[in-house]
Amino acid sequence: MLIPASNSPPLIFQTIPVIASELAIQGIDALIGRDILDQCLFAYNGSAKTFTLAF
């Protein structure tokens, strides 16, 4: 997994096993696990329906 960055090198994670699921029909594009979030700062603004992922 590669998370691009504008002013620094991207955050790169080794490939990890996942379970396949049909989430697109629920409007879900991706799931980010705690193994990734443990290394980032995740802020969610529910009223604006926006999020920020920083590392």
Mean pLDDT value of segment 4-26: 80
**Residue 10 lies inside a defined structural domain of this protein:** no
Q: In this model, does residue 45 exceed pLDDT 90?
A: yes
Mean pLDDT value of segment 12-33: 81
How confident is the model at residue 4, as a pLDDT? Answer: 78
What domain range includes position 48? Answer: 16-54
* pTM for this predicted structure: 0.56
How confident is the model at residue 22, as a pLDDT? Answer: 85
- Rounded CA Rg of the chain: 13
DSSP per residue, 1-55: -EE--SSSPPEE-----------GGGT------HHHHTTSEEEEETTTTEEEEE-
**Residue 34 lies inside a defined structural domain of this protein:** yes
6-10, 17-21, 46-50: least confidently modelled range: 17-21
**Residue 41 lies inside a defined structural domain of this protein:** yes
d(CA 30, CA 51): 14
**Residue 49 lies inside a defined structural domain of this protein:** yes
Q: How many domains does the chain have?
A: 1
**Residue 2 lies inside a defined structural domain of this protein:** no
